[in-house]
Amino acid sequence: MDPEGDAMHFVPFVAPLAVTECMCGLYNDSWWLRDDLTVSPHQTPMLPINFSLMGIFGDSSSPFDECIEKVTAENLITENWAMILDVCDKVNSDPRGPKNALLSIRKRLNHRDPHVVLLALSVLDSCWSNCGPAFRKEVSSASFINELQSKAVHSTRLISEKTRMMILKWVENECKADSSLSLVTTLYKNLLADGYSFTSSEPKKV
């Protein structure tokens, strides 16, 4: 195959995430492995993988995208609790609501605007409290716990403090009664052992 008419050839390949750009070429929105490189035996040529459709880079859509974007909009001064509770109701009315809602929340947690991230944390906390065990298990999954850790450690001061205080609240309440949420408890213990504080440095309002 010669997609651009030059000397470099490509064969379809399901590329692991570790495959570097120098080994692959992008053609018609799919990644292809160059056949002029040595490939290990386990890298069997297969059908092309379309990253944009599979959402490997976080682009997969969710039916909750629109409503989560509204409750975490950049122009909101503070949380709109009525809209947030509407989101919770929508999550509870959809069998796939917990998974899809968390996917949408995760996108907003990675927004470039810290204000949006803080609002997304409020939505996450509200869904944790109001959307039952199914949502909490999604949060306490191996795929999401790293997201929590990142926000608790590698974000701005306000985001990190809010995340850690939220984790502490969860551990002191729902996690005590549900052993399936052990990853959240483990994250809390690890952060505590590493010396992180679980209180706010903001001055108390008089």
| Main-chain phi, psi angles of 28, to 5 degrees | 55, 45
Can you give the pLDDT at residue 199? 84
- Relative orientation angle of helices 132-139 and 142-153, to the nearest 10 degrees: 70
Can you give the pLDDT at residue 93? 97
Can you give the pLDDT at residue 33? 37
Question: What is the length of the chain?
Answer: 206
pTM value surpassing 0.85: no
Can you give the pLDDT at residue 16? 38
State which H helix or E strand residue 153 sits in: helix 142-153
Distance, in Å, from the CA atom of 138 to the CA atom of 102, rounded to the nearest integer, reads 7
Can you give the pLDDT at residue 30? 36
pLDDT digits (tens, 9 = 90+) for 138-166: 999 998 999 999 999 999 999 999 999 99
The closest alpha carbon to 81, from 116, 146, 125, 41, belongs to 125
The closest alpha carbon to 136, from 80, 181, 189, belongs to 181
Residues of the chain with pLDDT under 50: 1-58, 205-206
